[in-house]
A = this chain, B = another copy of it.
Amino acid sequence: MKKGMTKVSVMYPNGADKKFDMNYYCNTHLPLVVELLGDKLKGASAEEGIGSAAPGATAPFASIGTMYFDSPEDFGAAFGPNATKIMGDIPNFTNIEPIVQVSTVV
């Protein structure tokens, strides 16, 4: 994605007794998010954690979802009115409370 864009990462930390339904996440949650955020969302991807720096180590995050917007204001305008619906769907696929990172692509 282009320099200056706003990147929003939703990160699900791994841990004891943590569950994450990748099938629901990919096939139900992400399509819901894409539909709700509309055309302010300029791109999205998802990843499944498989490891860390040391071979065989557990991935720090079970999954990370990434979204791109033209500006932090566009993210706020798209996410704000849909926050309740989007956050309300999270317990349907995981008991992990996600960490949200908002960044500027440099």
Q: Which residues of A contact B (CB under 8 A)?
A: 1, 6-7, 9, 11, 22, 26, 45-53, 55, 59-61, 63-64, 72, 76, 79, 83, 99-106
Complex interface: chain B residues within 8 A of A106 (CB): 22, 26, 46-48
Tell whether, in the assembled complex, residue B1 and residue A49 are in contact, meaning their CB atoms are under 8 Å apart: no
Select from chain B the residue with minimum beta-carbon distance to A52. B100
Majority-rule SS of A interface residues: strand
Give the distance in Å from the alpha carbon of A102 to the alpha carbon of B55 in the complex.
Answer: 10
Tell whether, in the assembled complex, residue B1 and residue A45 are in contact, meaning their CB atoms are under 8 Å apart: yes
Give the distance in Å from the alpha carbon of A46 to the alpha carbon of B43 in the complex.
Answer: 16
With A9-B64, A45-B1, A76-B55 as contacts: A50 and B103 at CB distance below 8 Å:
yes
